[in-house]
Each structure stands twice: as C-alpha cells, then as structure tokens.
Amino acid sequence: MLATANLAALVEVAEAADAKLVLVGDHRQLGAVEAGGLFRLLVADGRAAELHQVRRFSHAWEAAATLRLRNGDESALDDYAAHGRITGGTREDMIDQAFTHWQAARAAGESIVVMAADHTTVDALALRARAERVAAGQVEPHGLAVGNQIVGRGDEIVTTRNDRRLVTTGRLWVRNGDRWHVDTRRDDGALVVTHLDGWGRVVLPADYAADHVALAYAVTIHKAEGVTVDHAVLLADSTTTGEHLYVGMSRGRHDNQACVVTDAASTGHGHSAPPTPVDILGAAMRRSSAERSATETLRDELDRSEDPETLRRLHDQAVVYIEREAGPDRRPELHRLRQAQSTLPMLRNMVAGKQREVTRLDGDLTRISRSLAGDEADLDALTRPRRFRRLDHNAIAATQHRIDTQTGHLDRLQKARARAVADLERAGKRLHDTERTADRIPDVEAAIAKRRDWFDAHPAELAWEADLAARLVDKSKTADLPELEHEHSASEVDALLEALDLRTIDLSPRRPRTGLERRLDDALGVRRLGDPLDMLLRPPPGRGIDGPDIGLGL
C-alpha cells in the first residue's frame, strides 16, 4: 500500500545514504489510496523473488485455495463453497450473519475481524458489537471520537499505520494491522493499549489515536490488510473486487467466511434465475480495483493507439467533432430544396386551374339556381286554382319535369364543386408548403458556405481526420495479408506476391494529392454555375476510407 510519491522519496533517501532498498509486499492485494501501481510494475518488469509456501492457515486446502484465489482462478470458489465458507442472502440477513459469527468467536475466546468495503456497513457493525460489550459491562459507554466511532476503555482496536517511533515494552514497534486492548484513555486523547498477541504495552499519542485507530470488531478491507486473526468474516456484494475478496478471505487462520449480499444483484426482470453467491463472487474476481502506474497506463495507451478498434473510435470522434464544429453536410438537403423549388410553377398553374374550375362551377350553379327558381314560380302559377278556368295539366307536367331535371343537375354541380374546392385546398396547401420549403434555400446555402469557411480555417482538424482514416486503411490491409514466418520457400514467396493487389500500390514519382490539397470547392462538392461536376472524386488508393461522401473533402 505504498504510494508512488512515497516510494520515490524512499529511493532518494536510500540513494543519498548509499543504501540498498528492498521492497516486500503483495501486489495482488489492495493498493495505496494515493497514486500507486509502481510496485506491481517493478514485479512485472524485474526479477522479483516470490514466496510460494503459505504458513498462515491451519487447513491445507485453504492454503492452496488462497493461492488460486490470488491468481484469479474462479474454481477456487467451489472449494470454499464445499467447505461451507460461502453464504448468501439479503443485506440485513448477511449483516446479522456476520454479527452472529462475531458473537460465536467471542464466546469461544477466539479473535475475529469482520470486514466490508464501505464505511457505513463497517461503522454499523462495529457500533453494534461495541453496544453489546457496553451492555455486558466490558467497555465504558463513552470515549474518544475516532471518525464515526467511539473508542473507550475496554475496547479492542486496530492500528492502521506503521510507526517505528512507538515501541512496546516487548520491543515491538506499532504496525499496521496490529490489534490492541485499550487499558486507559487519557484526558489529552492518548490511549494506553496492550498488544492482544502478548507483545507488551505502549502509549498511542493523541494525534496517532485520532487518525490511525479503528475499532477492531469490524474494519474496512483496506484497514484489515496486515491483520491476522483466528476467524475472519467478509461482507461481500456487487461492488466487491478481486482484491477485496483476496484480502478478506485470507485474514483468518482457522476460518474465513464470505457473507454475500444477493438482493441487489438481480433486477427482477425476465425469467432467468437470480445469481448465486458463488456467481457474485466470481464476478467480483473479474473486477479489479488495482491502481495502475503511469508507465503501465502509458504503455497500454500506446498499444491501444494503433489498435484498429481504437483507431475506428478515434476516427468516429474526429468526424463527430468536425460535424459539430463545421455543421452538418447540407448539400443533399439543398439538392432536395432546389428540386422542390423547380415544381413551384407547375403547382401555381395547378392551383390556378383548380380555382378556374371552382369559378366555372359557381357560375353554373348560379345559372341553374335562377332557372330553377323561375320554373318553380311558373309551377306555382299553373297549379293555383282559378274560377272558370281548368288546370293545364300538360303545362304542369312539363314544368315539373324541368324542375326535376334541374334539381338533379344542381345536386351534381354542388357535389362537383365540393370536390373541386377540396382539390383546390389540397393544391393550395401543397403550394404553400413548397413555397415555405423553398424559402429555406438561402439559410441552407449560408450553412454550406459557413462549413466551407470552417474547413478553410481549420486544416489541422481535417489533417487529423485524414491521418486516422489512412491509418485505419493501412491496418485493414495489413490484417488481410498472411503472416510472414521466419523463412519461406520460393513458391511460398510467389504465392504471397500474387496475393498482393498491385493496384493499391502508388508507383508515381510523387505522392497522390490528398483531399486537403484539392480545391476546397471540389472537396465540398458544392455545385456552381458552369461547373459540370456534382460529386467528389473518389480518394486515391491507400488514402481515406472508401464509402459514402461525408462532406469532409477527403
């Protein structure tokens, strides 16, 4: 858990004293909270000596399983499950289970530590254990405030920082992970403590006690590194990592239990079975919280910088950036708008024709309505009874026939007019929409001009995109070639030469011009008066990506 800055300071001190610096640790455990990862890099690059014999555990199977757990072998979980070391349930049930393990170990007079990754769970477990000891009269109710915890006389604590200046009466300096019994709490905040493994007493100063002490009943996994007890309990959930699991399941000599929270691991959707505790721990082993050194990160980034998938992602980002800054390519939109504009004369003639049709029908309706009104008046006169005069039935019949005929004609004219009016409204709406569409042409032309100006002012961004595109093409061509081994026969060389596509090799004395070197108008493909070209030339072989023109001029 040594930070890179601290290690660098140690190296400077060792060099100044002409001393030898020996680093001892386990890079598979949790790293420093600050920037770290240098120890793991030294192990990977150097010739580090490594111990293989495990001495802590009383069970041979657990010693072997711990090594497999350290190496990320998920099959080790089956051994833990077979020996009853893994249980699962809701968070409340697992907290109760962990507390039950703590009570059982205390009742048997054996040491135990309960661990979790988050401070909230740790504080809840530690305060619950302390409350039980207070109720039993073993610990004073009040004490020194340490974070969210209270430490008083009778409590068991763990020290979390090495300090060679603090030496016990048994000649042991205070170490990270040592467990102590609080004998006395002084008024100035110092603690007089006794080592639980019999290494004597020491006074922990107030500043050390305030920052580097925690209740030993339950601790975070980081604080548990270096702790050795009879029994250990790890509260694991979906946030647990491989380093958490390895440290948490290797603190106990005789027994290491994993209480796995399973209630938050399933969304409840679908019909698939919820994950088992072993499944959750297996997923934890595939997660890592290890800090990476700057050198490792740089190496990985350099390797990924030539990875085709990374190049593809960077190229996509370049295109998105250019599209966002320069604006989208609106040439297809301009083409559609001009096509719509060209239909305006036809649509106006259509509307005028529909309007003339409605006017004609209105005239016919007026004429028929007047004629019908005259015939109805004549019929009324013919059918009115008069003295000394007979009705002219022939005239009545003829007039009624004219009325019926004109009524039917009038009905047909009204229906025809309704259809003509509907057609006129549709044609008018279409004309209106098309005129509004054509009105957008100046804005689109301005946007295209703005895009062209941005391209002219930002050649570096275009060169960036073009370089990524060229590297992508080179990678794809390299991947298509057969891998060359150390030697090939003459026939194999001939076959390899035949596999090459000579059309993709530029044999000209000068390199082909890139899209950046062509005229910008041609690269944009904006059609101008007198310009017969309405499309971009395809990029020369080996430059750019074959595909649809995205308006970048490449």
The CATH number of residue 348's host domain is 1.10.287
Which of 136-145, 310-319, 497-506 comes out lowest in average pLDDT?
Answer: 497-506
Q: Is residue 180 a part of any domain in this protein?
A: yes
Q: How crowded is residue 451: how many other Cβ atoms within 10 Å of its Cβ? A: 23
Out of 426, 443, 460, a domain closes at 443
Closest-CA residue to 151 (of 159, 142, 161, 163): 142
Q: Is residue 357 a part of any domain in this protein?
A: yes
* Percent share of the chain, pLDDT over 90: 49
353 & 275 share domain: no
Enter the tokens of residue 235.
């509260």
Query: Is 505's pLDDT higher than 70?
Result: no
**pLDDT of 254:** 94
Q: Is residue 371 a part of any domain in this protein?
A: yes
Residues forming beta bridges with residue 113, ordered by sequence position = 232
Q: Is residue 50 a part of any domain in this protein?
A: no
CA dist., res. 310 & res. 156, Å (int): 53
Question: pLDDT of 168-187, one tens digit each?
Answer: 999 999 998 898 999 999 98
Question: pLDDT of 299-343, one tens digit each?
Answer: 666 666 677 888 888 889 988 999 899 999 999 999 999 999 999
Average pLDDT score over the chain: 81
CA dist., res. 357 & res. 354, Å (int): 5
SS3 of residue 163 by DSSP: strand
**pLDDT of 540:** 40
**pLDDT of 338:** 93
383 & 235 share domain: no
**pLDDT of 20:** 84
**pLDDT of 516:** 41
211 & 353 share domain: no
Q: Is residue 8 a part of any domain in this protein?
A: no
Q: Is residue 337 a part of any domain in this protein?
A: no
| Mean pLDDT across 252-281 | 80
Query: Is 456's pLDDT higher than 70?
Result: yes
Enter the tokens of residue 347.
């649509």
349 & 280 share domain: no
**Nearest 5°: phi and psi at 190?**
-75, 155
* Range from 290-299, 301-310, 454-463, 481-490 that averages highest in pLDDT: 454-463
274 & 400 share domain: no
CA dist., res. 355 & res. 375, Å (int): 30
381 & 256 share domain: no
356 & 250 share domain: no
CA dist., res. 155 & res. 23, Å (int): 34
Q: Is residue 166 a part of any domain in this protein?
A: yes
Q: How confident is the model at residue 274 (pLDDT cuts 50, 70, 90)?
A: confident
**pLDDT of 223:** 83
* Helix or strand holding residue 509 (H, E): none
110 & 229 share domain: yes
399 & 263 share domain: no
CB 462 within 8 A of CB 326: no
Enter the tokens of residue 381.
């006169």
* Helix or strand holding residue 351 (H, E): helix 344-383
CA angle (65, 67, 72) in 5-degree steps: 95
Residues forming beta bridges with residue 235, ordered by sequence position = 116, 259
**pLDDT of 279:** 92
347 & 280 share domain: no
Q: How confident is the model at residue 277 (pLDDT cuts 50, 70, 90)?
A: very high
Enter the tokens of residue 309.
């998938």
Q: How confident is the model at residue 395 (pLDDT cuts 50, 70, 90)?
A: confident
Out of 443, 471, 495, a domain closes at 443
**pLDDT of 35:** 59
Q: How confident is the model at residue 506 (pLDDT cuts 50, 70, 90)?
A: very low
93 & 226 share domain: yes
Enter the tokens of residue 134.
């207070």
- How many domains would you assign to the chain? 2
Choose between 524 and 248: higher pLDDT: 248
- Cβ within 8 Å of residue 67, ≥6 positions away: 52, 54
First to last CA, the chain: 51
SS3 of residue 142 by DSSP: coil
Q: Is residue 485 a part of any domain in this protein?
A: no
- Rounded to two decimals, the pTM is 0.51
Out of 377, 412, 443, a domain closes at 443
SS3 of residue 243 by DSSP: helix
388: left (phi over 0), alpha (psi -120 to 50) or beta: left
246 & 393 share domain: no
Q: Which domain holds residue 376?
A: 343-443
